[in-house]
């Protein structure tokens, strides 16, 4: 069958024009009568599959997140590593606990000042030297333990690590800067950061115990220090995503901002929940002959929080954080009754593990909404300071909760100790409610 002539050929034939031999030259391309063809339709823009994909399409976001995770993982390693290292060398868990408690108190004192410097002079300019100084403190601690220095040198060396910057707060400050005017995306970013916190504090102690037990007692501290320094260097190198410094801000201290005092006290009470839960769960597991399972049970609580945090971040918040924070604290208070019931009614560590997994699911939403409120109430130019104050409150609460939970375990029972987290959560609920009521009242007066 003969081939069907093309449209161009048919037109020329119909005009009885001769068919010249086609020679492709530059002149031919210029003079040829090519009819315009319809342009190809543009390729559809790739839409991120989840809110988290959208976050990491921001230039530089992946790099600073990687650095932040490297720097944050050692935060869950240092305490465990120090206890193993000091107790193994000096034969005293009391000394090891006192040294780590001193470091915690020093961090709670120094961290807000470090955060203020970060806000004034920029993250990269302050975080790198502050981390380097803290790393020298960790190295000094290792040397003092290794060469049998007097006990007081351990306290001094560990206190020097208090300059460690709050990398989690700096990362949240970057998201707040990058996602201005997009509260839904900022909610997702805060949820991701909380899930990262839970993941690091879940994996950090396990990794530290593995390093100290497999290699040598100082391995956890040394490798943790190397990871921290490397992570901060990677994080600080991403200059394009860091918020601009505020060298001459006239804003008042975050502590004096509307609604902040009660909110920071609520964080103190929430920290007491975490500290008491850890001590009581370890005592409960040891009392039933499952000392090695204590870490796994606590990791399940963190895993529940991590999963809930990621899910919470993928869902658009139903209302403002001011209303959601008391609701989340109320849910946490109710769910914390599950470990108490599991321990008192069954006495089974397996049932307790399931109860802790469920109870942990309220932690991340509570922290996400709480940190969102801190961001909203912190005066302009002092965001990192405000979030560091919240973390400082958590650390102080953890210390108080550990002491309270330990006292109840020693003088009453491990089962009764599970009442301490419930009571602390109840206090947090009262403070969270009061914080929201006072902030709403002051706004109404201003109107």
Q: What's the pLDDT at 6?
A: 44
Q: What digits encode the pLDDT tens for the residues 193-207?
A: 888 888 887 788 778
* Listed residues 191, 210, 244: the one ending a domain: 244
Same-domain check for residues 235 and 211: yes
149 in a structural domain:
yes
145 compared with 383, residue with greater pLDDT: 145
| Three-class secondary structure assignment of 392-421 | HHHHHHHHHHHHHHHHHHHHCCHHHHCHHH
Same-domain check for residues 223 and 260: no
Same-domain check for residues 203 and 305: no
Give me the residue label for tokens 């993928």. 314
Same-domain check for residues 219 and 340: no
Task: Give yes or no for residue 32 having a pLDDT over 70.
Answer: no
Q: How many degrees, rounded to 5, is the angle at CA 51 between CA 46 and CA 54?
A: 45
Lowest mean pLDDT of 93-97, 186-190, 389-393, name the range. Answer: 93-97
Same-domain check for residues 204 and 338: no
Task: Give yes or no for residue 376 having a pLDDT over 80.
Answer: yes
- Percent of the chain surpassing pLDDT 90: 33
Same-domain check for residues 343 and 224: no
Side-chain-facing half-sphere of 443: CA atoms under 13 Å: 9
123 in a structural domain:
yes
Give dist(CA 343, CA 180) in Å, integer.
Answer: 46
We report the CATH number of the domain holding residue 320 as: 1.20.1250.20
Same-domain check for residues 234 and 272: no
Q: What's the pLDDT at 9?
A: 43
Whole-Å CA distances, 113 to 133, 165, 410? 15, 10, 37
2 in a structural domain:
no
Phi/psi of residue 371, each to 5°? -65, -35
Q: What's the pLDDT at 29?
A: 39
Task: Give yes or no for residue 90 having a pLDDT over 90.
Answer: no
Same-domain check for residues 222 and 261: no
Lowest mean pLDDT of 192-206, 325-339, 349-363, name the range. Answer: 192-206
Same-domain check for residues 212 and 271: no
Helix (H) or strand (E) holding 137: helix 123-146
79 in a structural domain:
yes
Q: What's the pLDDT at 47?
A: 52
**Residue 183's domain spans which residues?**
59-244
Task: Give yes or no for residue 290 having a pLDDT over 80.
Answer: no
Average pLDDT over residues 315-339: 87
In 3D, which of 417, 426, 371 has the Cα closest to residue 394?
371
Q: Both tokens of residue 166?
A: 């709050």
Lowest mean pLDDT of 232-236, 289-293, 300-304, 418-422, name the range. Answer: 289-293
Same-domain check for residues 266 and 358: yes
Q: Check if the beta carbon of residue 106 is closer than 8 Å to that of residue 140.
A: no
Whole-Å CA distances, 31 to 9, 35, 262? 17, 12, 80
382 in a structural domain:
yes
Q: Both tokens of residue 338?
A: 């599950």
Of the chain, the end-to-end C-alpha distance in Å amounts to 87
437 in a structural domain:
yes
Same-domain check for residues 335 and 211: no
In 3D, which of 311, 267, 232, 260 has the Cα closest to residue 64?
232
Neighbouring residues of 269: CB distance < 8 A, sequence distance ≥ 6:
397, 424, 425, 427, 428, 431
> In the structure, what pLDDT confidence band is assigned to residue 399 with cuts at 50, 70 and 90?
confident
Give whichever of 31-40, 189-198, 430-439 has the largest mean pLDDT: 189-198
Same-domain check for residues 154 and 212: yes
Q: What's the pLDDT at 231?
A: 95
Give dist(CA 287, CA 349) in Å, integer.
Answer: 10
Task: Give yes or no for residue 39 having a pLDDT over 90.
Answer: no
Q: What digits encode the pLDDT tens for the residues 123-165?
A: 999 999 999 999 999 999 999 999 999 999 999 999 999 999 9
Task: Give yes or no for residue 209 having a pLDDT over 90.
Answer: no
Q: What digits encode the pLDDT tens for the residues 54-88?
A: 889 999 999 999 999 999 999 888 887 888 888 88
Average pLDDT over residues 405-417: 87
CA dihedral 323, 327, 330, 336 (to 10 degrees): -130
Q: What's the pLDDT at 392?
A: 85
The DSSP secondary structure of 238-287, one letter per residue, reads: -GGGSPPP-TT--PPPGGGSTTHHHHHHHHHHHHHHHHHHHHHHHHHHHH
Q: What's the pLDDT at 12?
A: 43
* Listed residues 214, 244, 274: the one ending a domain: 244
Q: What's the pLDDT at 46?
A: 53
Give dist(CA 317, CA 158) in Å, integer.
Answer: 41
417 in a structural domain:
yes
Q: Both tokens of residue 224?
A: 């943790």
Mean of all residue pLDDT scores within the chain = 82
- Percent of the chain surpassing pLDDT 70: 85
Q: What digits encode the pLDDT tens for the residues 219-271?
A: 999 999 999 999 999 999 999 899 988 776 666 778 878 888 889 999 999 98
For the chain, the helix, strand and coil percentages under 3-state DSSP, each to the nearest 5: 80, 0, 20
In 3D, which of 201, 68, 66, 228 has the Cα closest to residue 135?
228
44 in a structural domain:
no
* Listed residues 212, 244, 276: the one ending a domain: 244
> In the structure, what pLDDT confidence band is assigned to residue 446 with cuts at 50, 70 and 90?
low
Domain count, the chain: 2
């Amino acid at each position: 069958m003969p081939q069907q002539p093309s449209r161009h050929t048919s037109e020329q034939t119909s005009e009885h024009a001769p068919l010249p031999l086609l020679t492709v030259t530059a002149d031919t391309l210029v003079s040829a009568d090519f009819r315009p063809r319809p342009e190809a339709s543009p390729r559809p823009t790739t839409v991120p599959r989840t809110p988290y994909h959208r976050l990491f399409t921001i230039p530089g976001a992946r790099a600073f997140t990687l650095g932040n995770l490297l720097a944050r993982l050692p935060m869950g390693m240092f305490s465990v590593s120090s206890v193993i290292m000091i107790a193994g060398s000096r034969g005293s868990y009391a000394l090891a606990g006192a040294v780590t408690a001193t470091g915690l108190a020093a961090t709670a004192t120094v961290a807000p000042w470090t955060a203020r410097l970060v806000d004034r002079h920029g993250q990269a300019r302050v975080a790198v030297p502050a981390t380097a100084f803290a790393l020298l403190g960790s190295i000094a601690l290792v040397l003092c333990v290794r060469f049998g220095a007097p006990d007081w040198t351990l306290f001094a060396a560990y206190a020097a690590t208090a300059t460690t910057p709050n990398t989690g707060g700096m990362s949240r400050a970057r998201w707040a800067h990058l996602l201005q005017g997009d509260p839904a995306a900022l909610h997702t970013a805060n949820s991701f950061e909380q899930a990262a916190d839970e993941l690091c504090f879940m994996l950090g102690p396990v990794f530290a115990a593995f390093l100290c037990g497999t290699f040598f007692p100082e391995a956890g501290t040394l490798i943790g220090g190397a990871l921290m320094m490397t992570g901060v260097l990677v994080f600080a190198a991403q200059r394009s995503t860091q918020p601009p410094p505020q060298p001459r801000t006239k804003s008042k201290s975050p502590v004096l901002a509307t609604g902040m005092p009660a909110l920071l006290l609520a964080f103190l009470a929430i920290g007491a929940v975490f500290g008491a839960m850890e001590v009581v769960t370890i005592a409960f597991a040891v009392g039933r002959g499952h000392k090695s399972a204590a870490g796994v049970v606590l990791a399940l609580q963190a895993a529940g929080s991590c999963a809930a945090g990621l899910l919470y971040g993928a869902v658009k918040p139903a209302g403002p954080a001011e209303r959601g924070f008391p609701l989340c604290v109320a849910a946490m208070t109710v769910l914390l009754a599950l470990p108490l019931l599991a321990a008192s009614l069954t006495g089974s560590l397996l049932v307790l593990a399931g109860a802790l997994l469920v109870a942990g699911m309220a932690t991340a939403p509570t922290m996400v909404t709480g940190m969102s409120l801190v961001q909203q109430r912190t005066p302009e130019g002092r965001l990192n300071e405000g979030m560091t104050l919240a973390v400082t409150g958590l650390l102080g609460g953890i210390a108080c909760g550990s002491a309270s939970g330990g006292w109840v375990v020693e003088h009453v029972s491990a089962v009764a100790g599970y009442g301490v987290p419930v009571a602390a959560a109840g206090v947090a609920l009262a403070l969270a409610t009061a914080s929201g009521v006072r902030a709403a009242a002051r706004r109404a007066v201003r109107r």
